[in-house]
Amino acid sequence: MPSTAEWSTTPRHERSLAARRVVAPASPAPRPIVRRDPGNPQGKKPVEMRRVGDADWRWFESQADAAKAFGVDGFEVSALVNNPSKARLRETFEARPAQPRKKREQPTKGKAGGAPLKKPRFVQRRVEGAQSKSNGKWVDHYMFPGREFDDLDEYRAAKKQRAARRRELHDQWKP
């Protein structure tokens, strides 16, 4: 048993291991990192399924969705996809892995094959000390900090009011 001086200076987690004489197990081999597709964060496996004899395959976002649609258990759908020869429902249904649906491509300008449409770049304008913002409003951080104006006329009116108030205050302080 360690002495009292040793006991108080040793970190708590190390004391418990020493008191129980437990040897830490060797760490297992690291697992490979599984990265999910950004368009499929839950890791769902899309599947196509149909009844035997049907012409069209039905696409489902996941095996669970296919199971609900056909009224069977999810593990049966998984068996149909992964090992159809041993699946109990192979006489009734067919299932196969499917590719995820592609997102719609951006429209192109002009004729087909042209460059995709781009949002025009915002160009800031400055008029009478005010600056335009990308949301369409105008600001003047020096004269009106924290205030936005919908249009330049409103800004000009506020500027005139402020100049008039300044003149009044200046006239009051004149000796």
Structure tokens at 56: 């069209």
Confidence of residue 108 (pLDDT cuts 50, 70, 90): low
pLDDT tens per residue across span 32-48: 665 666 666 677 788 99
Report the candidate in 50, 32, 53 with the shortest Cα–Cα distance to residue 98. Answer: 50
Which pLDDT does position 124 carry in this prediction?
87
Q: In the chain, what are the domain boundaries?
A: 47-97, 126-173
Confidence of residue 141 (pLDDT cuts 50, 70, 90): confident
CA separation, residue 107 to residues 45, 60, 101, 112, 115 (Å):
29, 26, 18, 9, 9
pTM for this prediction: 0.39
Which pLDDT does position 18 carry in this prediction?
55
Mean pLDDT of 114-137: 81
CA separation, residue 35 to residues 39, 76, 86 (Å):
12, 27, 30
For residue 60, the cross-strand partners are 47
pLDDT tens per residue across span 56-105: 899 898 888 999 999 999 889 999 999 888 888 888 999 998 876 666 66
Cα–Cα distance, 118 to 60 (Å, whole number): 33
Report the candidate in 39, 48, 116 with the shortest Cα–Cα distance to residue 84. Answer: 48
For residue 139, the cross-strand partners are 131, 148
Alpha helices in the chain (DSSP H): 4-9, 12-20, 63-70, 74-82, 152-173
Cα–Cα distance, 156 to 145 (Å, whole number): 15
